[in-house]
Amino acid sequence: MTVYMLGAGPGDPDLITLKAIKILEKADVVLYDSLANDTLLEYAPTTARLIYVGKRAGEHYRKQPEINQLLIDEGKKCETVVRLKGGDPFIFGRGGEEELALLREGINVEVIPGINSALGSSAMIGLPLTHRAISTSLTLVTGHEDPEKSEKQVNWDYTADTLVIFMGVGLLKKYVPKILEYRDADTPVCVIENGTLPNQKVITGTLGDITEKEIKPPALVIIGEVVNIYLEAEKLRSKLE
């Protein structure tokens, strides 16, 4: 008996790995997130049970301890359990928590990585998160820390050339003033809503004006000079049309 943690990729169902599809095809039960594209469930056998355990900002269908227990219960009675998670299981996906919960119960866990939204969404629009001339370091940070922590770890004093914020749109007006303590107001910003999907939307600006723009989750926030690479590339692409 094995629980497979599958990375579903950044949104576009074509960006899931072949290995993940092969495992989905033999699943007895699939526990899936809101950010995992629903069309991927079509790869599961018609006999597989599908259990929704998604989370959205301000709306949790099941709390994390409940999900952990569900995985344990299913892992003890089913041969192949799939935990289908948006992006990559271990990049702000709580995969580490679920892995330990299962292993502590003596249940085997195998992790199949996925393309996370930072890498997938930025690459699909032609925005390089690193660039040898202007960005040799990259920091990924969550916009939502565990509310039960006694002390916050995110202080926004990161020195990396490029900063990528996951799940931070709802609190962007709170975070930007703190980021401005360490970065200039004219620092370029790119926000990608629904990255890699047909309804994808790209919004650009600066730290000084990005909070004035209409932005809706789910979205990824990219801060740094690499945004200018994207803007230049877009101008060059328009000339090719």
Return the number of other C-beta atoms located less than 10 Å from residue 145's C-beta.
13
Place of tokens 């650009």: 204
Detail the DSSP E strand segments found in 33-137: 49-52, 55-56, 59-60, 80-85, 108-112
Which is catalytic among the residues 5, 12, 55, 124?
Answer: 55
Q: Is 1 a known active-site residue?
A: no
Single-letter amino acid, residue 117: S
Residue 155: HSE in the Cβ half-sphere, 13 Å Cα cutoff: 5
Q: Are 113 and 122 in contact (CB under 8 A)?
A: no
Integer Cα distance of 188 and 131 in angstroms: 15
Distances in whole angstroms, Cα of residue 36 to Cα of each of 20, 61, 120, 166, 233: 12, 15, 14, 16, 30
What three-state secondary structure class fits 53?
coil
Q: Is the dihedral of CA 155, 156, 159, 163 positive or negative?
A: positive
Which is catalytic among the residues 33, 85, 124, 161?
Answer: 33
Q: Is 186 a known active-site residue?
A: no
Q: Is 124 a known active-site residue?
A: no
> Active-site residue numbers?
33, 55, 167
